[in-house]
Amino acid sequence: MAEKTKSEYVPNIYPGKDVVSERRKRLWDKSKPLLKYRSISEDDITQLLSHRAVRSAYVSVHPPLEEIIEPYDPIKHIVVPTPGARAGDRIRFIQMTDSFHKPPIAPFARSRLYLARFRGVDTCVYSGREILEMRERDLEKATKMLLETEIFNPARSALRGITVHGHSLRLDEDGLMFDARRRYIYDKDSGEVVYIKDQMGNVLDVPVPVGPPLSEEDCKKLCLTYSWDTQPYKARTELFEMMSRATKMRVMAGFNPEMIDESM
């Protein structure tokens, strides 16, 4: 009798079969590489993050793991340390914000992507931004991927370590997200978005170009959110009923949970 073969586990990354659902599945599936749209040098990445001087040594918070004598722990032999953890790098961060106008990714989606594709991370979703903390050299490697691939639109995504406000406001006359600290501008001569300040708002000695804004067609194709011109609801009535139910359930549950009726 032939031996039964065990079926391979296939994770259900995200439900649904519409265009938006399929995009979310692909972004959150670490086995599928992200499409590369542009190239940004490692020195420019260091400038934008502003944690250390370009090509300076990484700051350590503890000796390399090979030099630390610790009690035996089997978990340490199972979990391979990241390069930054192995070297003893300090923890640094990048904070990204995404426009409400057809963004290639959104804060809640960044969290899923970070946890699926990176190791040794600490991340938190805010109203319109997402912070990612990692060991410094690991963070720089991750940042390169975040800025060079399809999840970054120079006009609808931005590095903002502080003063993040403005992500949900209208786009400016050049189609860029409003930024109170004006960290980037649109260079009409080159057609690219250029960072003139780092993520903390400090003026850069050498501006960093990050590529041209994506076209409206590409914005629609790469959009991760549901809207009337991407993957709409069946009817406006369905949307209004869903919003009304969610609001009513939230108010009544906060006021008196016993008043909730699942048939509502």
96-133: per-residue pLDDT in tens?
Answer: 999 988 899 999 999 999 999 999 999 998 878 999 99
Q: Are 223 and 105 in contact (CB under 8 A)?
A: no
Model confidence at 168, pLDDT cuts 50, 70, 90, reads low
73-86: per-residue pLDDT in tens?
Answer: 898 889 999 999 99
Nearest Cα neighbor of 40 from 257, 245, 206 is 206
**pLDDT (0 to 100) of residue 245:** 79
Q: Is the pLDDT score of 2 beyond 70?
A: no
Q: Is the pLDDT score of 69 beyond 80?
A: yes
Q: Is the pLDDT score of 262 beyond 90?
A: no
Average pLDDT, the chain: 89
Rg (CA), the chain: 22
pTM for the model: 0.84
Span 19-48, average pLDDT? 95
